[in-house]
Chains A and B, each alone.
Chain A
Amino acid sequence: MSKKKEKANKPKKVILNQRFDDTFRQCIHNSNFMIGFFIILSVILIAVFSGVLEPYPYDEQMVGPRLEGPSWEHWFGTDNYGRDELSRVIEGSKLALWVAFLGASVELALGITIGLAMGYFGKWVDRTFSFLTDLTWCIPGTILALAVVTIIGKGLTNTIIAVSLVAWAGYARPVRSKTMSLKNMAFIETGRAFGESSRAIMFKYIFPNVVPSLIVMVSMNLPGTIMSTTTLSYLGLGSQPPSADWGLALSDGMKFISRAPWLSIYPGLALVYTTLGFNLLGEGLRDILDPHMKSQ
Chain B
Amino acid sequence: MKEYIIKRLALGVVLVVAVSFLVFSLMYMMPGDPIDIMISDRVSEETKAEMAHKYGYDLPFFTQYFNWVKGVCHLDFGTSARYRQPVWSLLGARIPYSLRLCSLSLLVEMLFALPLGLLCAVKKDSWIDKFCVNVSLVLTAVPAFWFGTLLIVVFAVGLGWLPISGYQTPAHYILPVAAIAFTSVGSTLRITKAEVLEVLHEKYVTTAYAKGLPRKRVLVKHVLRNSLIIVVTLTFMSIPWMITGAVITEKIFAFPGMGNLLLNSIVVQDMPVVQAVLLIIAILTVICNLASDIITAFLDPRIKDTISGGEN
Contact = CB atoms under 8 A, between A and B. Distances in A.
Contact of B19 (A139, A151, A235, A283): A139
Contacts of A143: 243-244, 247, 262, 278, 281
A147 B26 contact: yes
| Dominant secondary structure at the A interface | helix
B137 A264 contact: no
A250 B148 CA distance: 11
Interface in B125-146: 137-138, 140-143, 145-146
Contacts of B60: none
A296 interface: yes
Contact of A254 (B16, B18, B252, B274): B252
A176 B237 CA distance: 22
Interface string B266-287: 1101000010001001100110
Given A150-B30, A268-B150, A295 B190 contact: yes
Interface in B221-264: 237, 240-241, 243-244, 247-248, 251-252, 262-263
A134 B19 CA distance: 10
Interface stretch (A7-15, A61-69, A95-103, A271-279): A271-279
B59 interface: no
A140 B285 contact: yes
Contacts of A223: 140-141
Nearest to B14: A131
Interface stretch (B44-52, B66-74, B152-160): B152-160
A258 B154 CA distance: 11
Nearest to A136: B22
B31 A140 contact: no
Interface of B: 15-16, 18-19, 22-23, 26-27, 29-31, 137-138, 140-143, 145-146, 149-150, 152-153, 157-158, 164, 187, 190-191, 194, 237, 240-241, 243-244, 247-248, 251-252, 262-263, 266-267, 269, 274, 278, 281-282, 285-286
19 contacts: A138-B19, A138-B286, A139-B278, A140-B285, A143-B247, A146-B263, A147-B278, A151-B29, A235-B251, A257-B153, A257-B164, A264-B149, A264-B150, A264-B152, A272-B142, A276-B137, A279-B137, A280-B137, A296-B237
Interface of A: 131, 134-135, 137-143, 146-148, 150-151, 153, 223, 227, 230-231, 234-236, 250, 253-254, 257-258, 261, 264-265, 268, 271-272, 275-276, 279-280, 283, 294-296
